[in-house]
Amino acid sequence: MQNFNVNNMPMLALRGLMIFPHMVLNFDVGRDKSIAALEAAMLEDQSIYLAMQKDIKDEDPAPDQIHSIGTVAKIKQILKMPGDVVRVMVEGVCRARAIQFVETEPFLRVELEIYEDVEGEPDIQRQAMMRLLCDRFAEFVSAGGKASAETVETLREIESAGQLADVIAASTVARLEQRQDVLEALDIDLRMERVYEYMQRELELLRLEQRVQSRMKRQIDKNQKEFYLREQIKAIRKELGENESEQTDELAERARKMALPQEVREKVDKELGRLGRMAPGTPEISQLQTYIEWVLDLPWGVYTDDDIRLQKAQKVLDAEHYGLQKVKERIVEHLAVHQLTRSVKGPILCFAGPPGVGKTSIARSIAHAMNRKFVRISLGGTRDEADIRGHRRTYIGAIPGRIITGMKQSGSMNPVFLLDEVDKLGHDMRGDPAAALLEVLDAEQNSAFRDHYLEVAFDLSQVLFLTTANDIGAIPGPLRDRMEIINLPGYTVEDKVQIAKKHLLPKQMEAHGLQKDMLHIAPAVLRAIADDYTREAGVRQMERQLAAVCRKAARKIAAGESESVTLRKKDLEEYLGKPVFKRQELTGERLPGLVTGLAWTSYGGDTLPIEVAAMKGTGAVELTGQLGDVMKESAHAAISYIRTIGPAIKIPDEFPKGMDLHIHIPEGAIPKDGPSAGISMATAIVSALTGRPVREHLAMTGEITLLGRVLAVGGIREKVMAAYAQGVREIIMPAENRADIEEVPQSIRDKMTFHFVEHFRQVLDLVFTKAKGE
């Protein structure tokens, strides 16, 4: 390449177009500057400089927005078109570089450095490159490139290497930046290398397009063939009067529109194929249809968007539940971790406590706070493993397990799923449902939970599982190991009053059609209902009593006897009958051998009167009241210890060989067991043997050993609250339980006296009324 000469001529900026030397191009011109440049070129020697602008959206490009290297062309033809548009045909002559812009108005005129290819006899290397270009171009044409076979033969006759490269580039290079790159290659060998590289890329793209089109064509042919065959089958079945295919088609259409996992889609397609091939009247048809409907009814890929805001969650919990501050704090912490990790992996929360304290409702509040669907299943009495994992389809009447059924009911893959009454699971010869739950609650396994009925993996990893229980001791060990126990304690009388006022009474009034001003119950009356008509840890009985009041009030208002009802204490017997519970008066003369113990049950705390009678005999010991093995052992341990200290505490010399003991705990129809009555029975035995009554307003709890040590027990909060409700104002308990007193409401602690003991000798110093002269 050598510098030919310097010249100036009109310039036209091309948008989205470019022209190579030896190339003929037709294009439309509409800009005023461009039309003016064409007119000036026609008045001169019909030569015009064409260069591509860098931004095709630019209507009036500045000189620095136009490529510096372009093509000098000869104008062959100009036609005026409608709408002030000029159509021009040009032929490229040679390359040129714009040195400077001479004029910019009314059109562009530039001073050019014109280049013309100067070639001698091509050497062997250039000849090889020219042949290679022609061969690749022939492959390009045979692969479907936009060129004719005649063009290949024409190219082989071109002797100029530069011209060959330009002609091939014009036919094969599609991208404008690559075409400009070839135009700017003033060196012929470099130009041929660039053309070869770009043509090779275009050839690979063409071959890839052909493979894709061939694959698509085969798929279309296959689909057309299947469609044709299905239509033939439909026509045949229609002629035979068979209409089962309509439902099959509906199921297939549903499956096609759903975003099913690959394994599930393959399974559904397989079962649909089996269904389509079955003869009419086959009994298995309905079973297959039911199975496919079950699979398609599940919420595959459907998720609700979590809306976890801790302030909102706290407000929801406070609005829907009174008290339970520690429980709410733990729940908010759980939600905070979920907000940060976006994962439900972690401990399974188990809400444990007596009935009616709000375990199920607080789980529903968690779903409300997270903006998730809520689903609950009760596990009480579940004995069959198939209730969890489902039945295999080989059984008649097989259905999925309760986990998959719950997921179908929720309509999403990430609900809050409550497993209620998990402590009441059973097991028998049909399997162990507690063991089946291990996979459900294990975040490392439940991402591919396989129900026996579905036979495909179902993802439970985004489900927030919660559980409830009354007695955590009844939960199987491996299952309890996967849970974090959150105890929901019983409510005080004041708690019940506030819950009734804020939640229970408005709910029951609405349920019975009573407006806000139709029934009035003062807090003092609510307190009387809680004291005299309920004696439970929760508030279910309180709600039942309020429902009874609302029914009576609704009857009076509906009968026209009054427009509103105000309930007073003196009216309680009329509305609710005689008081169910009367506070046990512990005043007056106390009987020897009677001690008030404290017990914990799955329904809350309770007082436990213990009676001991000592009489002449042969040293026999009688235990009555349906006592369990643990309580019997405590009684025998207490007797053995008392025998060792008998002389020191003035036990009669006849004991034990000359006296019989009868230990009885009233309400004999109710089974009783546990380690909490040790010191209570020991105290009652000492009281009966010495004839000294225990002081009034006093109760006790704690286990005793053969050496008289007092051991810690559980359920302190519930026991203290039960004792307070019965009028007890002093409690003796193990010193190791001193920290548990902090869980008792402050309002109750302030009215009670607690004695903490480490040895039974300390108990004896506290319990007996001192005789005159002592």
Query: What are the start-end ranges of the H helices in 73-187?
Result: 124-142, 149-156, 161-172, 176-183
357 annotated as a binding-site residue: yes
353 annotated as a binding-site residue: yes
Using only the alpha carbons of the chain, give its radius of gyration: 47
Q: By CB neighbour count within 10 A (0-12 exposed, 13-18 middle, 19+ buried), where does 616 fall? A: exposed
Q: Which two tokens stand for residue 482?
A: 């996967």
359 annotated as a binding-site residue: yes
What is the distance between the alpha carbons of residues 576 and 125, in angstroms, rounded to a whole number? 114
Specify the DSSP element, H or E, that contains 346.
none
Q: Which two tokens stand for residue 323?
A: 């008290």
Specify the DSSP element, H or E, that contains 535.
none
Which residues, 6 or more positions from 395, have their beta carbon under 8 angstroms from its beta carbon? Answer: none
Out of 267, 328, 672, 719, pick the active-site residue: 719
Tell me, yes or no, if 747 is annotated catalytic.
Answer: no
Residue 573's Cβ-side half-sphere holds a number of Cα atoms within 13 Å equal to 3
106 annotated as a binding-site residue: no
Q: How far is CA 167 from CA 72, 116, 137, 147, 408, in A?
A: 16, 16, 11, 11, 66
Which residues, 6 or more positions from 585, have their beta carbon under 8 angstroms from its beta carbon? Answer: 727
What is the distance between the alpha carbons of residues 398 and 451, in angstroms, rounded to a whole number? 12
Out of 171, 245, 676, 687, pick the active-site residue: 676
Rounded-to-10 torsion of CA 340, 341, 343, 349: -60
Which residues, 6 or more positions from 596, have their beta carbon under 8 angstroms from its beta carbon? Answer: 586, 607, 608, 609, 610, 680, 694, 698, 699, 700, 723, 726, 728
What is the distance between the alpha carbons of residues 133 and 199, in angstroms, rounded to a whole number? 9
Tell me, yes or no, if 676 is annotated catalytic.
Answer: yes
Q: Which two tokens stand for residue 145?
A: 């490139």
Catalytic residues: 676, 719
Binding residues for ATP: 353-360
Binding residues: 353-360
